[in-house]
Amino acid sequence: MTGLGYTVPAVLAVLVVFAWELGVLRTGLFRKPAYWISMAIVLGFQIPVDGWLTKLSAPVVIYDEQHTSGIRFPFDIPVEDFLFGWALVTAVLLLWERQKVRAQRRDAS
């Protein structure tokens, strides 16, 4: 298992989104309780659906284990799925927050 095909891009996606928020956008999204509630809701849906899709007993989606870390939790879900999911949802919310700030600036002027 090298993890180069799926693990490395998943980790890079998380790092890029963190850097984008903390170094560029600075929306304060990570300090907002609504963000963390949203992430809990996403996980509440992601775990059963992703668990069903990736269960090793009868997978719908099959991963080449050479390209993952091999860590699966819970319900046989590759941990990389959570990393990509977090990066995707957070990036969208950051774009939304950025648009909200721009609209507020436009309205104030």
Instruction: Quick: pLDDT tens for 45-100.
Output: 999 999 999 999 999 999 988 899 999 999 999 999 999 999 999 999 999 999 98
29-53 pLDDT tens trace? 999 999 999 999 999 999 999 999 9
CA nearest 12: which of 78, 83, 70, 82?
A: 83
What CA–CA distance (Å, rounded) separates 73 from 78?
A: 6
CA gap 12, 74 in Å, rounded = 22
- The predicted model scores a pTM of 0.88
Q: What's the chain's Rg over C-alpha atoms?
A: 17
Higher pLDDT, 42 or 103: 42
